[in-house]
Amino acid sequence: MTQTSSDHIPPSTFPRHLAVIMDGNGRWAQAQGMPRIAGHRQGAKTVDLVTMECARLGLEAITLYSFSSENWKRPTEEVDFLMALCKEHLITQRSRMVEHNIRFRRLGRRKGLPAEVLAESDACEEATQDCDGMTLSLALNYGSRAELADAARSIAEDAAAGRLDPQSIDEAMISDRLNTAGLPDPDLLLRTAGEMRISNFLLWQISYAELVVTDVLWPAFEISDLHQAFTDFAGRTRRFGLVEPSPRPDANPNDP
């Protein structure tokens, strides 16, 4: 994969938090005359490439849509391969994350995931808990509607138990009950393979995110494509409902 310089992009215009819907693994493999699983394996290499570049550029966070709660409907053989690939990836990349000061988080429900995947995910979170660089979040068995339902249930239980006044429920409280609590909301959502939909990903968190869709399939996605997405983002005027643009490129309407 070709790597290009990012010197033309002012660092102040990089997104704080990049969210990525990684699409096109199967189509890439089929175009190469390979089975779909070959596309997933190549896509895992792109994950490493993009993650390391984002860490090098100083982003605060990157969140990758790895396996949705709807993906369980795929053929059993493919699902089993994806779970095995995830386990393998968590093992092989753990020391690299520590080396590059990357903190790991898993988003999504634990229930339904294989025990060995959960064990390796937990091990990555523990190994990187003291890292204070970029946060890498892997959305695994994740669905945004389920996340919001879980947050609502948690708040309702506290209200029913008298631990909080329902009148005190606000946007900040809901945000604090989501999987992404403590992270800035994504300000750039990138989707590959030309698909024009959100696919139940971070519905609450991307309320003010800029969208960039590229026709490039995820396994073929290169550093130059990432830089192009950042260039597109830097050229956007972000008003957040105001007449004049925000004075800060990284401004978030939910920031204090």
Mean per-residue pLDDT, 229-241: 85
Query: Which is nearest to 249 in space by CA: 188, 183, 191, 181?
Result: 188
d(CA 194, CA 211): 12
Model confidence band, residue 247 (pLDDT cutoffs 50, 70, 90): low
**Residue 25 appears among annotated catalytic residues:** no
| pLDDT tier at 173, thresholds 50, 70, 90 | very high
Tell me how crowded residue 114 is: count the other CB atoms within 10 A of its CB.
15
Q: What is the pLDDT of residue 250?
A: 52
The structural domains of the chain, ordered by start, are: 13-234 (3.40.1180.10)
**pLDDT tens track for 110-167:** 999 999 999 999 999 999 999 999 999 999 999 999 999 999 999 999 999 999 999 9
Residue whose C-alpha is closest to residue 137's, from 99, 166, 179: 179
Residues of the chain above pLDDT 90, percent: 87
CA-wise closest residue to 143 among 76, 207, 70, 64:
70
pLDDT at 87: 98
Residue of 23, 185, 187, 225 marked catalytic? 23
* Catalytic choice (48, 71, 225, 252): 71
- With tokens 């570049």, the residue in question is 53
- Asked whether residue 199 carries a pLDDT value surpassing 70, the answer given is yes
The pTM for the full model equals 0.90
Predicted local confidence at residue 12, as pLDDT = 83
Average pLDDT of every residue of the chain: 93
**What local confidence, expressed as pLDDT, does residue 3 receive?**
44
Phi and psi torsions of 110, nearest 5°: -70, -40
Q: pLDDT digits over 33-64, tens only? A: 999 999 999 999 999 999 999 999 999 999 99
- The pLDDT tens digits for 200-222 are 999 999 999 999 999 999 999 99
Handedness of CA 180, 186, 191, 195 (dihedral sign): positive
- Beta-carbon contacts of residue 244 (< 8 Å; ≥ 6 apart): none
- Tens digit of each residue's pLDDT (9 = 90 or more) over 80-110: 999 999 999 999 999 999 999 999 999 999 9
Res 2 pLDDT > 50: no
Q: Mutual orientation of helices 36-57 and 223-234 as an angle, nearest 10°? A: 50
Rounded mean pLDDT of 175-188? 98
Taking residues 68-76, report their average pLDDT: 96
Q: What length is written for the chain? A: 256
- Name the band, by pLDDT with cuts 50, 70 and 90, for residue 237: confident
Q: Is 71 a catalytic residue?
A: yes
As a whole number of Å, the end-to-end CA separation of the chain is 41
Name residue 106's amino acid: R
